[in-house]
Structure 1
Amino acid sequence: MQHQTAETNANRLTIALFSIYLAALCWILLLKLGVKFSYMNNRRVNLVPFRNILQDHGRIANSEILMNVLIFVPLGLYAGILFSRWSFKKKVLFFFLVSFIVESLQYILAIGSFDATDIITNTTGGILGLLTYIILAKTLNNRFKAQKVINIIAVLGTVLMVLFLGLLKLNMLPVRYQ
């Protein structure tokens, strides 16, 4: 009985953290942190993956690719925990669809571009998060222990993310948008 209570509490915490992550994802990707970026007036569709990868005098835009991957890693971690009955392929399709919807909304709402590269890199991030969860669960030989470890890390990450986004929104960081 006590194990079921601990598992139920862990599931509630995971769902709460997942909800906070989704809210932050929408705020970052759809509301653009409430800040008007200079590129927001540049609505375009890029259906050729990695076409615009070379920027800044021919150097690869590694930071944008890395950020697109990293922002979807938590989605993969949470999908591994919360959608454990789904097949691997169904989870990958979920990552793709979430990214596709975000990219479509950015274009439709005139807050960004629809970019095939972003869909690929976001989906890759989800897959990396899912693989991280799978490896952790196998290493610990227990899905519940893996969930507890991820929840602890996610609580710390969520607190840091909320603090960072709050400071950014209040213009208390040396980062400026143009």
Structure 2
Amino acid sequence: MTSFFQSKRLTYALLLIYLISLVWIIVLKFNLVAYHAGVERSINWIPFPRLFGLPGQGDRNELLLNVLIFVPYGLYSGILWQKWTLPRLIPVFLTSSFLFESSQYFLKYGAFDATDLVNNTLGGILGWITYQGLKKLAKSPKLARKWVNIFALIGTGIILGLLLFLKFNQLWIFRMQLLES
């Protein structure tokens, strides 16, 4: 019998929570509604424009976060679609990132940025490679899945707790500002 932590059902549940969190973070920008009238939309089709001497974003922290935020997607993909090769998964990571970027643009909540597409895809690839390394280290896909699920369960709890704390703290500060005015 498969233990709770080795269960693919747990992995699917964690993936669902992760994807909902991504929508809330990337598309909704921690808000509950995603439409803002009058927000200027923009599209950047050139990844890493500063490398080409063009104006554009180049914040290293943002670039790193765009990679890191997709690493769990690669981990979950490695577990759930074990027979899929990396060349088959790269279009999945790219398409997912494209959908998030497009949603930001169409919902007027952010810009469509090709740099984010590249970085998110790279994050998915790094997650998949990490899972492959864990499988070799554990010498068992089930044990690797157990390690990822335990780590993901703890991480999901911490991240969701932090996100909720930040959101409620933001609401509290907003209410205090309203009371002061």
Question: TM-score if structure 2 supplies the norm length?
Answer: 0.83
Count residues with an aligned counterpart.
167
Cα deviation digits, residues 114-141 of structure 1 (max 9, x gap): 1100000000000000000001101111
1:161 matched residue in structure 2: 159
2:102 to 101, 104, 112: 104
> C-alpha separation between the residues in 2 aligned to 1:120 and 1:28?
18
Letter in 2 for 1:18: L
Letter in 2 for 1:87: T
> C-alpha separation between the residues in 2 aligned to 1:19 and 1:27?
12
Question: TM-score if structure 1 supplies the norm length?
Answer: 0.84
CA shift in 2, pair 1:102/1:165, >3 Å: same
CA shift in 2, pair 1:53/1:63, >3 Å: farther
CA shift in 2, pair 1:160/1:169, >3 Å: same
> C-alpha separation between the residues in 1 aligned to 2:122 and 2:139?
25
Cα deviation digits, residues 11-45 of structure 1 (max 9, x gap): 11111111110110111111111079xxx924100
CA drift of 1:53 comes to 7.3
Listed as ranges, the gaps of 5+ residues in structure 2 are 175-181
CA shift in 2, pair 1:147/1:92, >3 Å: same
User: In percent, how many aligned pairs have the same letter?
Assistant: 43
CA drift of 1:6 comes to 3.1
Letter in 2 for 1:16: A
1:34 matched residue in structure 2: 31
Listed as ranges, the gaps of 5+ residues in structure 1 are none
2:123 to 125, 128, 133: 125
Q: Which moved more, 1:4-13 or 1:68-77?
A: 4-13
> C-alpha separation between the residues in 2 aligned to 1:110 and 1:139?
45
Give RMSD over aligned pairs: 2.7
Q: Is the 8 A contact 2:75 2:127 kept in 1?
A: yes
CA shift in 2, pair 1:172/1:31, >3 Å: closer
SS in 1 for 2:49: coil
Q: Which moved more, 1:129-138 or 1:86-95?
A: 86-95
CA drift of 1:59 comes to 9.8
Instruction: Detail structure 1 runs of 4+ shifted over 4 Å in the superposition.
Output: none
CA drift of 1:86 comes to 1.7
Q: How does 1:10-159 map to 2 (within 5 A)?
A: 10-34=7-31, 41-51=39-49, 60-159=58-157
